[in-house]
Amino acid sequence: MKKIFYLFLVIICFSCSDNTPINNCFSGIKMNAIIDLSLPEFSGLLVPGGESQNVIQGRNVFIFRTGTSGYRAFDQQCPEQNCNSLMTFNGVEITCPCDNKKYNYLSGGAPLDGEGCNALMYFVTPISNNQLRISR
């Protein structure tokens, strides 16, 4: 009986993996990037209300500036992952063009109809006046 218990314990210890869904639909997506706002591709983020669409660590990321010092960033992949088109951003709405489902960036990318997965939001942390950390 002890041998079975130890075998079971060893199997549990070595079978660990990170397959926890992120944001109810995304799994295994990690991000830890520092972007330099002095680069031309991020110049839109230097002004309040500015935005930037870039590929960061292989992911299509939409970053926008909210006011004078706040930033938000979302992955442009549709949460239902049934679409190859990128989501579009208009005001406070994020729209998946394949099913026309809308999400609200003010509520962390929650669907406006309250059903389904949230849009994948990244954490944006200012490091200095010229650098931001995008992480998940």
Domain boundaries, the chain: 29-135
> Which residues, 6+ apart, have CB-to-CB distance to 17 below 8 Å?
none
Asked whether the beta carbons of 20 and 29 are under 8 A apart, the reply is: no
Beta bridge partners of 118: none
In the chain, the N- to C-terminal Cα span, in Å, equals 43
List phi, psi (to 5°) of 135: -145, 165
Alpha carbon of residue 105 to chain centroid? 11
Options 2.160.20.80, 3.40.50.720, 2.102.10.10, 2.60.120.260; which CATH number does 29-135 get?
2.102.10.10
pTM: 0.78
Identify the pLDDT of residue 123: 95
CA 123, 127, 128, 131 torsion-angle sign: negative
What integer is the mean pLDDT of 92-107? 89
Identify the pLDDT of residue 132: 95
- 106-132 in b/e form (b: 16+ CB < 10 A) is eeebbbeeeeebbbbbbebeeeeeeeb
Task: Report pLDDT digits (tens) over 10-55.
Answer: 555 555 544 444 455 777 889 999 999 999 999 999 998 899 999 9
